[in-house]
A and B are shown apart, each in its own frame.
Chain A
Amino acid sequence: MNVIVCIKRVPDTEARIRIDGSGSSIESSGIKYDMSPYDAFAVEAAIRLKEGLQGEGDVSVMTLGDSSSGETLRKALAMGADRAVLLNGEVSLDGLATAKALAAELEGSEADLFLFGIKAADDDQQQVGQMVAVLSGRPCVSGVSSFEIDGQTARCKREVEGGSEIVEVDLPAVLCITKGPNEPRLPALKGIMAAKKKPLEERPAQLSGSRVRLIGFSTPPPRAEGRIVGEGPDAVPELVRILREDAHAI
C-alpha cells in the first residue's frame, strides 16, 4: 500500500493575522508556521495505515510552496513518512492552479491512496483535493474522518450535514481527510533524528497563471462593544427582552 499525502505550511492557528501596509499581503514576521491541522490528520492516517500493514508500503509527503516548506515536510518525515517532495513555487489564491501543479506531479503515480487535509487553515478554500482527483481521473471522497482498506476498495466514514455515511470507493482514490479519532502524533526525538536522513527532493512546481486576482486583504471590523446584562439567573428576563425587542433575534 503506497500513499502520497499532500500537505501545506500555514500560520499556526493561534497566530494573530495582520495585514501589511500595502493591504495585499499578510504580515509574516512574528508568525509561527506549522503543518495545516487537517493535513496532520492525513499524515497520521497514512502512517497508521502503514503500521497496520507491519510497515509494508511507502508513505510520501508532498507540498507546494517556497523552500521554507521544507521544515513542514521534515515534520511529516519525523512523524514517520518515508520520503518528501517539495514543489517550489508561489501558492496563489487560485486553487485550480495549485491542483494542476500537484496533478502534473502525480501523473503516472502508482500510489494506491492520495490523501489531502480537507482544507488548508490559511485560505480555507476546501477544493484542491477534489480538483486533483478530477484532473487525474481518480475517484474522491471528502470529509473522511476514518477509513479502512478492504481489498481494492477503501471504506470511508464521511461526515455530512447532521450525520455521517459509510462510503466505499475503488482504489486508487483521493481521500480528503477531516478530524477523526486519531490525534496526530508529535514527532519523537528518534523520529526527528531519522527524518534528517530521509530523502527530500526539491524541484520547481509546474504552475500555470492564477486566474483569481487579489485586490487586497482586510480585517473584520471590530464588533461593537458588548455589555454585561447582569449576573446570574436573575439577569435572564432582561436578556430575553433585549433579544426579542432590540436584537430581534428570538
Chain B
Amino acid sequence: MAKVLAVAEQRDGKFGSGAHEVVSVAARLAQDLGSTAQGVVLAGTGVSLDASSLGSFGADKIVVIEHDALADYNPEAWVSTLENLIREGEYRVVVFSATTLGKDLAPRIAARLDVPLASDVTEVDISDGMVSVTRPVFSGKAFAHLEIDASPALISIRPNVFPSVESVAEGEVTTVTPDINVSDLRIRVLERERSSDGVVDVSEASVIVSGGRGMKAPENWSLLESLREVLGADAALGASRAVVDAGWRPHGEQVGQTGKTVAPSLYIAVGISGAVQHLAGMRTAKTIVAINRDADAPIFGVADYGIVGDLFEVLPRLTDEIAELRAKD
C-alpha cells in the first residue's frame, strides 16, 4: 500500500491553513495512487487538539505524537520521532509544509531516510507512478520541473499555493508517546520572542501589506500597520530589501531574493519601486496592488491595479474605506 503521509503543524493546539493544505495534497496524491492519506501531528503533552478535524481534509488516520519535549520545535527531539514513524509506515510520499519549521525539519528527515527532498514545491502530481513536481528556482524567476526517483518521495509545499479541500469526514485518531531523553538533546531552546503576538508570518500570510523606501521613515509604518489590522488576522507586514538594509524593519519581513518568496492572495506594495529581486519574490501573488508616486516604477509592470499618488494621502483613505467595508460585512 503506497500510503501518503502529511506532516501537519499545529500552533497552540490550532491547525492553520498550512496543515489543511498538506493534508489536502496528501489526500489527492493518495487517490491517484489508489491508497489512503494519513496525517501526523507532533505536540506537547496535554495540548488540546482537534486532530480528527484533519479527517475532513482527507486523512483517514491521524497519529498524534505527544511528549513534553515536542511542545516547542527542537529538531533534535522531532527528527528521530518522525523518522521512526515514516520508516514503520512505508509511505510512498511524505508531504511537509514549507514553513520555517518544515524547511528545517524536512531536510533532516530526508538525510536520515537517505532520500532526496524537493523543497517549496508549487505543483505535484503522480504520473505513471512517479512523483513529479514543479518548484521555483532563482526566487521564482524560473521553475524547475522534476521527477523524484526515490521512495518515499519527500516534498515540502509552498504555503498558500495549494487549495484546502474540505469534505464531511472524520479521521481516526491515535495518540502515541515516544521515548525522548531530554538530556541527550544537543540543542536547547533558551528563549522565545514573539515580535507581534498572534500575527501570521509573511511567508504564510494570505494578505501582505509591504512597505519600501517611499515610506520615508520607520515611524511611518504605523500607517501600514493600520491597514494590516483592518485586513484581518491572515494579513502580515512585508518589507523591501532597502528598508531592511536601512534597519527600519527586521529581516524576517523581507520579501524578495534575499528574503522570503511569497504567494499571498493579495499583495499591496506601498512605496516600493520594484527591484528585480523584489519582483521575483512576490510575482506569484494572486492579486497585486501598487501604490507609488512614480508612474514609471517597475512595480506597476507586475501590478494588477495601481494608484499613482502620494502614499501618505492614499494609505489612510484605503484603510478607512476597507474598514468601512468590513464593518458592513
Contact = CB atoms under 8 A, between A and B. Distances in A.
B97 to A, nearest CB: 11
A140 interface: yes
Given A130-B108, A131-B107, A179-B251, A231 B145 contact: no
Contacts of A164: 192-193, 195, 252
A102 B107 CA distance: 15
Given A96-B114, A162-B194, A231-B308, A215 B261 contact: no
A190 interface: no
B82 to A, nearest CB: 13
A14 B207 CA distance: 26
Contacts of B137: 122-124, 217
Greatest chain B CB density within 10 A among A128, A139, A211 is at A211
A182 B106 CA distance: 29
B12 interface: no
Interface string A145-158: 10000000001000
A223 interface: yes
Interface residues of A, number: 86
Contacts of B213: none
Contacts of B188: 167-169
A134 B149 contact: no
B43 interface: no
Interface in B213-267: 231, 244-245, 251-252, 254, 257-259, 261, 265-266
Contact of A243 (B118, B193, B251, B289): B289
A223 B203 CA distance: 21
A186 interface: no
B321 interface: yes
B187 interface: yes
Nearest to B314: A233
Interface string B93-130: 00000011101101110111011111110000000000
Given A179-B254, A235-B309, A131 B108 contact: yes
B287 interface: yes
A122 B187 contact: no
Nearest to B185: A139
Given A13-B258, A230-B307, A232-B310, A131 B111 contact: yes
Given A124-B119, A233-B309, A160 B314 contact: no
B264 to A, nearest CB: 9
A235 B307 contact: yes
B289 A239 contact: yes
B44 to A, nearest CB: 16
Contacts of A122: 137-138
B313 A233 contact: yes
Contacts of B85: none
A163 B193 contact: yes
A227 B305 contact: yes
Interface in A160-217: 160-170, 173, 178-180, 183, 210-217
11 contacts: A96-B110, A126-B103, A130-B75, A162-B252, A163-B196, A167-B190, A168-B190, A170-B186, A179-B251, A212-B116, A218-B143
Identify the 10 closest CB pairs spanning chains A and B, nearest first: A127-B107, A161-B201, A134-B111, A139-B186, A232-B309, A130-B107, A131-B111, A17-B141, A233-B317, A166-B191
